[in-house]
Chains A and B, each alone.
Chain A
Amino acid sequence: MRRLSRGTTALAVVGAVALTVLIVVPVAALILRAPWSSAADILAEPANRTALRLSVVVSLWSLALSICLGLPIAWLLARVQFPGRRVLRALVTLPMVLPPVVGGVALLVAFGRRGLVGQWLDRWFDVQLAFTTTAAVLAATFVSLPFFVVTVEAALRGVDQRYEDAARTLGARPLTVLRRVTLPAIRSSLVAGAALAWARALGEFGATITFAGSFEGRTQTMPLAINAALDADPRGAILLSLVLLLLAVMVLSSLRDRWMGSA
């Protein structure tokens, strides 16, 4: 075996310590302290089941919105030359670096009952967004959309456009080319972008609690339920956390072949 240089050894030690302290120990603690014997009962509690169901509903709606809005935006950014493209890209990716709670406050002052737009929605259409399930969906979409856009835009840039040319000479209209040539070509990136966006939406906390509040059955998704349960029912909080951990691992493994297969 080749002897490692002292520098490499030092780096390996630092890495191992960091990994252990930051990831292995906390995850292990979560698993060890979980109330395994009463797991089924805890998960069956109405409040927890409600939070789980709401999380699924909110995250899937958010995913649908991310795809419907994200695909055109990604296309625009990747394929169309227009003034302000850089500004648009910066805007779209802003939520990735913005503290979620700031996003929540921004959504609140925009769409809250007395918000910039919200007051008109209230006055003209009698629509109140804040503290509704819709608000939870909007908050989740706000933070997760960039993950889908960034992934898909990169894929669209990488597409060999000669195949699209070939399709057009065969009589395919632009929408047919998109549906039958471009999207199949970036299928794995679409899945990856959707998985990332969904995982981000599922874990969303800060923007949701600010803009949508924490109302059981309406806006209290899993992360909010975990936060609420932490004092009164820590075992439930740990178990719900484990469920989220499991989902995160599933997302990672679904992406593994695409992202880490050759790494």
Chain B
Amino acid sequence: MSALQVAGVVEAGELSLDVELEVGPDETVAVLGPNGAGKTTLLRAISGLRPLTSGVVRLDGRVLDEPTSRTWVPPEDRSVGVVFQDLLLFPFLNVTDNVAFGLEAAGLGRAAARTASTTWLERFGLGDRAKDSVRDLSGGESQRVAVARALAPVPRALLLDEPLSSLDADVRATVRRQLRGHLAQHSGPCIVVTHDPLDAAILADRVVVLEAGRITAAGSLSDLVARPRTAWAAELAGTNLLPATAIGQRLVTADGGELISADVPDPGPALVAIRPASVTLHLTHPEGSARNVWPAIVAEVEGFGDRFRIRVEGSVALVAEVTAGAVDELGLVPGRDVWASVKATDVSAYPA
């Protein structure tokens, strides 16, 4: 049985969010998606900061929002903890009182709330920061205070909005690992909104992709990377995605190119994913075991580190990843005629 269930529509100006999402007890789901996809709106709908236009939000069997039955539980009565993107620590309260805030709101006396807050801070390795102003905290410390503040009232569900985006890159990995430990203190459904697949990989059990207000993919992160369903997901996975039509083992791409795959998808509309590193470029027609060989023209060359991404155009247009040495040796510059090849086993094909 799912603990948190959202099946609803939110009309928010330009954006129309229409999702169905279920999160089990003790399950952490990452919601991945580009900016403006409606990720934050989804969290606001669950936490009660934005009413649904239609549909239902349910938590542990209790209806929190259902316009048809005129049910709407205000945020303070939902027991849904939120870690906001900008953290939003109260600047006029010190660290202890920030974490004690939710406990006091729940009716605990100030002294008892502070004692409990101190316990949380010690658990999060912030015992020595208890009396400090939140303005004096580092990014990582602020983030931990925000998580402690959200967890202290023991919410039934926990929502995190881009929990690591406010951090510098050099501390992000450490904080991400710590956050994983801290999330273990929460028992109940948890949603992490992010645009970084690494967050999803480390923090979540399952991934949902949200694009333009719709869920475009759901499953494990490895599945998402191996079989992306949208251009955004393919870019995220760093792979080529080609819409095609499956006819037996042959896949005819939209541009009329043909590929052979070791997979045999059902006949009809299919998607083809090819990792850039498995594409080989040659100056002459290669003689080898690769089943897919086609003439192409180098369109764009982009270096990153000691690797180069070469976009080629031809009957099958895609990106190949080659070493700097290969770029030199083959003289890969825009306009260069090459042969591209990829093994049938490296062509992943699945129904669209």
Contact = CB atoms under 8 A, between A and B. Distances in A.
8 contacts: A162-B88, A165-B75, A168-B74, A169-B75, A169-B76, A169-B80, A170-B149, A171-B102
A168 B88 CA distance: 12
A166 B105 contact: no
Contact of A173 (B86, B92, B105): B105
Interface stretch (A18-26, A180-188, A200-208): A180-188
B112 interface: no
A56 to B, nearest CB: 31
A123 B92 CA distance: 52
B117 interface: no
A170 B150 CA distance: 7
Contact of B76 (A171, A180, A184): A171
A165 B149 CA distance: 14
B90 A172 contact: no
B184 interface: no
Interface in B108-162: 149-150, 153
Nearest to A165: B49
B76 A173 contact: yes
B105 A170 contact: yes
B84 A185 contact: no
B101 A168 contact: no
Contacts of A162: 84, 86, 88
B231 interface: no
Contact of B81 (A169, A176, A180, A181): A169
B106 interface: yes
Contacts of A169: 47-49, 75-76, 78, 80-82, 150
B12 to A, nearest CB: 15
Contacts of B105: 167, 170-173, 176
Interface in A177-195: 180-181, 184-185, 187
A162 B81 CA distance: 14
Contacts, number: 59
B75 A168 contact: yes
Interface of B: 47-49, 74-82, 84, 86, 88, 90, 92, 101-102, 105-106, 149-150, 153
Task: Choose among B47, B78, B92, B105 the residue with the greatest number of A CB atoms under 10 Å from its CB.
Answer: B105
Contacts of B84: 162, 165-166
The 9 nearest A-B residue pairs measured at CB: A170-B102, A171-B105, A168-B75, A172-B105, A166-B88, A169-B82, A184-B92, A168-B76, A171-B76
A96 B95 CA distance: 43
A166 B47 CA distance: 10
Contacts of A185: 92
Given A169-B80, A170-B101, A180-B101, A163 B88 contact: yes
Contacts of B106: 171
B75 A181 contact: no
Given A165-B49, A165-B75, A176-B105, A171 B153 contact: yes
A167 B89 CA distance: 10
A165 B43 CA distance: 12
Nearest to A183: B92
A116 to B, nearest CB: 43
A165 B74 CA distance: 11
A128 to B, nearest CB: 46
B213 to A, nearest CB: 21
Interface string A94-118: 0000000000000000000000000
A168 B77 CA distance: 9
A166 B153 CA distance: 13
B82 A166 contact: yes
A163 B91 CA distance: 10
Given A165-B75, A166-B90, A167-B105, 11 more contacts: A162-B86, A163-B88, A168-B48, A168-B75, A169-B78, A169-B150, A170-B81, A170-B102, A170-B149, A171-B102, A173-B105
Contacts of B76: 168-173
A175 to B, nearest CB: 11
A168 B150 CA distance: 11
B40 to A, nearest CB: 11
A167 B49 contact: no
Contacts of B77: 171
Contacts of A163: 88, 90
Contacts of B78: 169
Given A162-B86, A180-B101, A181-B90, A170 B74 contact: no
A165 B92 CA distance: 16
Contacts of A168: 48-49, 74-76
Nearest to A167: B101
* B47, B74, B101, B149: most-surrounded residue (chain A CB, <10 A): B101
B16 to A, nearest CB: 22
Contacts of A171: 76-77, 79, 102, 105-106, 153
B62 to A, nearest CB: 16
Contacts of A180: 101
